[in-house]
Amino acid sequence: IGRYEAITADAPALVTGSHFDSVRNGGKYDGNLGILLPIACIQQWHKAGKRFPFALEVIGFAEEEGVRFKATLLGSRAAAGTFDMAVLDNLDDAGLSMREVMAASGFHAVGLAKAAYAPESVLAFVEVHIEQGPILLNEQLPVGVVTAISGASRFMVEIDGLAGHAGTVPMEMRRDAAMAAAEIGLLIERRCQGTPGLVGTVGMFNVPNGAANVVPGKALFSIDIRAGDDTIRQAAVADVRAEIERIGHRRNVTIKTRQTHDAVSVPCAPWLQQQLAKAIASSNLPVRHLPSGAGHDAMAMAAITDVAMLFVRCGNGGISHHPDEIMTAEDAALAAQVFTHFVEQFKK
């Protein structure tokens, strides 16, 4: 956390920032742009000797993606005072708990409560982030104003069937865990097609100790269902969970479903959207409003303050969470120009 002081001491802060962690085999702009861009802007204000009636704070959040311990937004939830202490017992792939890893790194879970911001000390939270999608790119627009962040439900699913020889177990007698998992994956795909804004993903799929000549006795996989409308998301989740039970019964396998994440959709504050739109227009750029299908640290920060997001165009068809994720220096400069105008004209 870096703080650029106000004209007067102890003033409340306009808070910004994003995350510095990534997914496996991910890109390098997702998150990092929202940390480095405000720092670059503050460097220019510092050179010019410019201060504001409010302080500016830039936060580099840890573990937004939630890859290692299957729990997301850890840094921002701590800052917002909503960190779930139960996730400290989540295990990574090596069987180590988050609590153990923190202690080995010199951090202490008992101090997490001290990370929380007092709501009265924060004027708003604004996050700059690449779009991670193709809308701005296809419309040839460098930036956009986010209207809302989609809610998300995530699950880890464990299926236990019965392992057997691939050559000797008749098809009708099989209790194949992998095929049950595959059927559930196709169910999710079907259920989430055709409804605008609703998406479903099986991003992890594992057959532990699998072999080419063995009917799988166990399968592990993840489910991620998102939508900008919580009613639509919750209906899809209910349908999928009901069908999972039917599939388990029909295939004679045991299915354990554990929810690892549940986040409601978060609207961006209209008054902040208006100020971002005004900043974009001041740079002679068209103003585009669009929702975010991806989750962001702003979702967690909404627990203590109004939030806003500025999306920046990315290339390669809008690909993200991939090494081919790119953006241009020109778009970064335009985003910095918009952010600068937003801060300089900011009013609560």
Contact status, residue 294 vs residue 203, Cβ threshold 8 Å? no
Q: Clarify whether residues 256 and 188 are in a common domain.
A: yes
Closest by CA to 15, choosing from 80, 73, 72, 65, is: 80
Integer CA distances (angstroms), 103 to 98, 108, 322, in order: 9, 6, 31
Q: Clarify whether residues 312 and 332 are in a common domain.
A: yes
Domain around 136: 2-150+265-344
First to last CA, the chain: 22
Alpha-carbon gap, residue 177 to 159, rounded angstroms: 6
Question: For residue 176, what is the domain's CATH number?
Answer: 3.30.70.360
Coil, strand, or helix at residue 121?
A: helix
Q: Clarify whether residues 237 and 317 are in a common domain.
A: no
Q: Clarify whether residues 88 and 182 are in a common domain.
A: no
Tally the domains of the chain.
2
Q: Clarify whether residues 145 and 287 are in a common domain.
A: yes
Domain stops at, among 231, 263, 295: 263
| pTM for this model (two decimals) | 0.81
Q: Clarify whether residues 35 and 140 are in a common domain.
A: yes
Instruction: Quote the crossing angle between the two packed helices 329-344 and 33-48, to the nearest 10°.
Output: 60
Alpha-carbon gap, residue 161 to 76, rounded angstroms: 39
**pLDDT tens digits, one per residue of 27-40:** 999 999 999 999 99
Closest by CA to 258, choosing from 221, 208, 217, is: 221
Q: Residue 196: what pLDDT?
A: 87
Q: Clarify whether residues 220 and 276 are in a common domain.
A: no
Coil, strand, or helix at residue 225?
A: strand
N residues, the chain: 348
**pLDDT tens digits, one per residue of 189-234:** 999 999 988 999 999 999 999 999 999 999 999 999 999 889 999 9
Q: Clarify whether residues 21 and 116 are in a common domain.
A: yes
Q: Clarify whether residues 100 and 186 are in a common domain.
A: no
Question: For residue 99, what is the domain's CATH number?
Answer: 3.40.630.10
Q: Clarify whether residues 86 and 165 are in a common domain.
A: no
Q: Residue 293: what pLDDT?
A: 87
- C-alpha 300: how far from chain center: 10
DSSP 91: B
Q: Clarify whether residues 95 and 108 are in a common domain.
A: yes
Q: Residue 263: what pLDDT?
A: 83
Domain stops at, among 242, 263, 284: 263
Contact status, residue 119 vs residue 9, Cβ threshold 8 Å? no
Q: Clarify whether residues 49 and 172 are in a common domain.
A: no
Coil, strand, or helix at residue 73?
A: coil
Contact status, residue 236 vs residue 229, Cβ threshold 8 Å? no
List of the chain residues with pLDDT < 50: none
Alpha-carbon gap, residue 247 to 249, rounded angstroms: 5
Contact status, residue 165 vs residue 213, Cβ threshold 8 Å? yes
**pLDDT tens digits, one per residue of 269-286:** 999 999 999 999 999 999
Domain stops at, among 263, 287, 319: 263
